[in-house]
Amino acid sequence: MSILLVYGLYGIALGLLLFIAFLFVAKATASLTDKRRLQLDFLDTESDKMVPFPSIHSAHTLDLTIVIPAYNESKRLPVFLDVLFPYLDGVDYSYEIIVVDDGSKDTTTEVVHSYSKKYGSNVIRCMKLPANKGKGGAVRQGVLSARGKEILFADADGATDINDLGKVRKSLHDLLNKSNTKYGIAVGSRAHLQDEAVANRSFLRNILMYGFHMFVFIVGGISNIKDTQCGFKLFSRSAAQAIFPQMNIERWAFDVEIFVIANILGIRATEVAVNWEEIDGSKIVPIYSWLEMAKDLLMIRTRYMIGAWSVNQRLKAE
């Protein structure tokens, strides 16, 4: 037996052992995510007392909830809110804003409370998480306490033009009416901007974008959505009720798991072109964030494949 053949057999054996070890780790650590809805309070500006957030499983009492995850956003958040409120002043539907402070070390909570005192806690509320959970975990907790018939999550930097909310809502309504269903997602997309200077993305962000999209397609198995990572997604309440309680990923790749669960449940998504501009202060850390997202994508694929994670089929959209 030649030395090359021996080394080849050793390599195959080592590869199999590493693969088995990876499956074991994926299985053993699958239940580490706490999927419970946290029992959190918000500052009620009328009584000046802390009051429990409601549950998404209750009936809706508003037309729209906007969930904004925020980690150390005391500088960028006011800029976005000062654009958001004038826009919302001109709409003809009821709404609320939930800013989820994801364990910030700055004055993010105090900033939100100042807006609550100005506009009222029925309009804007701060959900303060006891510790940093990651963007996915923050969005999930906010959605699970939403009062809206429709639920949007939007990034705190306001990178997506809020004036595009109208056409995103229309796209969701068209999807629900055409499919005669209560389950649907309208996804803000920057795919149309990839070849235009208006996108204004940095070189590093472009590398991250193209590499991640390819990885999402190959490993995540998501082919029906071109831009999974745009922080501007609108859900019908029924879709949010079906998807978010079942989510496991709490950091950057949580968007991909949304579509994995949606596909399993037969929940349709429509992609809507939005105007987007990169804002300074991104929390993405080059290399580290890429590796973390790649790891999470592998875990999503592996854990659903081996049955470590599963989806409640009783919530399947009709």
Q: Kindly state the tokens that stand for 122.
A: 């029925």
- State which amino acid sits at residue 1: M
Q: What's the rounded Cα separation, in Å, for the pair 126 and 114?
A: 10
Query: How far is 5 from 161, CA to CA, in rounded Å?
Result: 59
Global pTM reads 0.85
Q: Does the CA dihedral 158-285-228-278 come out positive or negative? A: positive
Residue 142's pLDDT is 97
pLDDT value at position 198?
40
Report residue 275 as tokens: 């105007």
Predicted confidence (pLDDT) at residue 15 exceeds the cutoff of 60: no
- The span from the first CA to the last CA of the chain, in angstroms, equals 60
Confidence of residue 110 (pLDDT cuts 50, 70, 90): very high
Residue 247's closest CA among 169, 135, 151?
Answer: 135
**Which residues touch 18 (CB under 8 Å, ≥6 apart)?**
none
Summarised one tens digit per residue, pLDDT across range 155-192 is 999 999 999 999 999 999 999 999 999 999 999 998 77
Which residue in 257, 263, 268, 234 sits closest to 303, CA to CA?
257
